[in-house]
Amino acid sequence: MKENLLFPSPINGSSESIEEQMLEALELFQYSFSFRDSVFTILVNKESDFDRLLTDLKVIQSSQIYVLVVINHSIEVLEKVTKLKNDGLLIEYITQDADKNISNKKLHTIKNEFSTHDIVVLGLNCNGICETSTLLREGLEVAEQLNARKFFYLIDDEGVILNGVLHSTIKLTELKSLDRTKSTLNLNDEIIDLFEQSLDRKNSLELVVTNSTPGSLYQEVFTHQGIGTLISNFPEGEIRNGSTKDIFIVSRLMKPYVERGLLLPIPPEDMEKEIFEFQLYIINGSIVAGAKIIDFGEACELAKFFSLPRFRRRGHAKTLAISLIQKAKDKNKKYVFSLSVTKNMWDFFLSLGFSEIERELLPEDWKNNYDFSRNSKAFKLDL
């Protein structure tokens, strides 16, 4: 039987239960469905990077995502792609002179290859090795013309490193406003200018800077964790109420917090009712953070704060908390409260004007269902 690259067979002796394995598969299906028929463009500087990421490319392709690889043209790459094609992989090699605009005819050819879910390798011919800026400029232009959803720029580092710190997400405006005499950055001004020009033309394009470590593209596309750095020009997010269509994603985003004991789990049968109590922070159509409000008579609890790893420490939790506090005020509640087992969240609530309170002073209905063995602290804000 042919191996399924996207959903491999469970490893013998795996400690995961079949239910956990099915949930992992469900997460993959969810992402596969959400990206289906999208175009992903990957800029590959070195032939060795193409080799290292080949399995990633196959996985993305098997999810019915259109894959365009932009690379320096060479006889070696052409022969490699030809061999892969002869071995049965749906892949096609197309050349393009870097000093010429890509023709509508060639764009049509690429789209035709996409229709049969071929991986398209676009070899840029510079009469030698193209400079990185040339590859990037041409790659971004083709990505825009194909209405690509994601653009991967592969470098040697894990992502964007600013002043020695790896960033999981950063706004283009932050990079543009840097004082280069006081800051260190592993991207030069020419690269940043090309990103800016591209995002000015296509604001919804997601630029991801990462390396060619095997599995990096897979982790970015098919997991909540992500990898590398997302460079965006997205406007500020918006808050909306949760709905039944959000149950799966919210549950998966909360899962790492539950596994670490930071949040108590919500049984699936309860989640179907409680999802409407959530407020969700949305950026570019995706849920990146959330929290919920629970009614306890004269008070409300703010609970279940979660965020995608990439979007932590960006102020979204504060925005959500302020929104939930306002909801409690609109209900004429006397106070709101919240609990956490982590110092970061204790400091967070104190920064919002909460005061620490003994858990025994919280509403009776809440106390009747709480496990007081948890090493949590309670905080209260009078309204």
User: Per-residue pLDDT tens for 91-134?
Assistant: 999 999 988 888 899 999 999 999 888 899 999 999 888 899 99
Domain end among 232, 266, 293 = 232
Query: Both 127 and 216 in a single domain?
Result: yes
Are residue 206 and residue 322 in the same domain, yes or no? no
Is the per-residue pLDDT at 174 higher than 80?
Answer: yes
| Mean pLDDT, residues 308-314 | 80
221 and 249 co-located in one domain: no
Q: Where are the alpha helices (DSSP H) in the chain?
A: 18-35, 47-52, 54-62, 75-86, 104-115, 132-145, 172-176, 189-201, 216-222, 247-259, 268-274, 316-330, 343-351, 364-367
Final residue of a structural domain among 203, 232, 261:
232
Please indicate, yes or no, whether residues 369 and 225 belong to a single structural domain of this protein: no
CATH number at residue 131: 3.40.1160.10
Query: Which long-range contacts does 200-205 make (Cβ < 8 Å, 24+ apart)?
Result: 200/233, 201/144, 202/144, 202/147, 203/233, 203/234, 204/149, 204/234, 204/284, 205/143, 205/144, 205/148, 205/149, 205/150, 205/151
Residue 59 and residue 5 in contact, taking contact as beta carbons nearer than 8 Å: yes
DSSP 130: P
Task: Supply the CATH number for residue 325's domain.
Answer: 3.40.630.30
The reply to whether 327 falls in a domain is: yes
Q: Which residues span the domain enclosing 203?
A: 18-232
Indicate whether 5 belongs to any domain.
no
Domain boundary among 232, 251, 270: 232
Task: Compute the distance between CA of residue 213 and CA of residue 53 in angstroms, rounded to an integer.
Answer: 7
pTM assigned to the model? 0.75
Average model confidence (pLDDT) for the chain?
88
Residue 152 has pLDDT above 60, yes or no: yes
Q: How far apart are CA 145 and CA 192, in angstroms?
A: 20
Lowest mean pLDDT among 127-141, 200-214, 339-353: 200-214
> Looking at the structure, do residues 198 and 336 belong to the same domain, yes or no?
no
Highest mean pLDDT among 1-15, 45-59, 210-224: 45-59
201 with 246, same domain?
no
If asked whether residues 321 and 350 sit together in one domain, one would say: yes
Contact call for residues 69 and 120 (beta carbons, < 8 A): yes
**Per the structure, how many domains does the chain have?**
2
Phi-psi region of 334 (alpha: psi -120 to 50; beta: other; left: phi over 0): alpha
Whether residue 205 sits in one domain with residue 59: yes
pLDDT tops 60 at residue 2: no
pLDDT of residue 234: 67
Q: Are residues 141 and 61 in the same domain?
A: yes
Do 249 and 290 belong together in one domain?
yes
> Do residues 23 and 168 share a domain?
yes
What whole-number distance in Å separates Cα of residue 318 and Cα of residue 16? 35
Q: Are residues 78 and 189 in the same domain?
A: yes
